[in-house]
Structure 1
Amino acid sequence: MRKLYLFDFDGTLTFRDTMFLFLKFYHPRRFYLSFLVHIPLFVLLKLKLADAEKVKKSFISAVLKGEKRQEIEARAQEFFLRHHKALIRPNAQQFIDKINRNQTEIYIVSASLDIWVKPFADNWGFKLLATQADFDNEIFTGNFMGKNCNGDEKRCRIKTAIAHQKFDKTIAFGDSTGDREMLAWADESHFEFFH
Structure 2
Amino acid sequence: MMPGATHGAPSVAFFDFDGTLTKSDTLMPFLKYVVGSPTYYTKLALVSPVLAAYLAKVLRNDLAKQLVLRHYLANQDIGVLRTKGDRFSHDIVPTMLRPEGMDRLRWHQKLGHICVLVSASLDVYLNSWAHNENFDDVICTQLQLDSSKRNGKIIDKNCFGKEKSARIELWKKGKILGETFAYGDTLGDVPMLSSVDHGYMWNRKQGKFVPFT
Higher relative contact order at CA 8 Å, sep ≥6: structure 1 or structure 2? 1
Alignment of structure 1 residues 35-74 onto 2, 5 Å: 35-74=44-83
Partner of 1:111: 120
Give yes or no for the alignment of 1:89 onto 2:98.
yes
- Is the contact between residue 16 and residue 189 of structure 2 (CA under 8 Å) also seen in structure 1? yes
- The residue that corresponds to 1:8 in the other structure is 16
Indicate if the aligned counterparts of 2:11 and 2:113 stay in contact, CA closer than 8 A: yes
Matches within 5 A, 1:166-177: 166-177=176-187
Residues 73-152 of structure 1 correspond to what in structure 2 (within 5 A)? 73-100=82-109, 104-126=113-135, 127-152=137-162
Matched position secondary structure for 1:99: helix
Which digits, 9 at most, give the CA deviation of each residue in 1:44-98, with x for residues without a partner? 2222112221111111111111112221111011112211331111222233223
Root-mean-square deviation (CA, aligned residues, Å) is: 1.6
- 1:98 & 1:104 partners in 2: Cα distance? 9
CA distance in 2, matches of 1:162, 1:49: 33
1:181-192 maps to which residues of 2 (within 5 A)? Answer: 181-192=191-202
Matched, 1:179 2:172: no
Distance 1:92 1:50 in 2: 30
Q: CA deviation at 1:102?
A: 6.2
CA distance in 1, matches of 2:81, 2:108: 31
Runs of 4+ in 1 over 6 A off after TM superposition: none
- Cα 1:52–1:100, aligned 2, differ >3 Å: closer, same or farther? closer
Letter in 1 for 2:20: T
2:177 aligns to what SS in structure 1?
Answer: coil
What TM-score do you get using the length of structure 1 for normalisation?
0.93
Farther off after superposition, 24-33 or 125-134: 24-33
Query: Which residue identity lines up with residue 178 of structure 2 in the other structure?
Result: D
- Consecutive unaligned residues of structure 1, counting only runs of 5 or more, are none
Q: Which moved more, 1:67-76 or 1:94-103?
A: 94-103
The alignment's TM-score, normalised by the length of structure 2, stands at: 0.86
Identity %: 26
3-state DSSP class of the match of 1:125?
coil
Letter in 2 for 1:94: D
SS across alignment from 2:139: strand
Deviates more, 1:109-118 or 1:89-98: 89-98
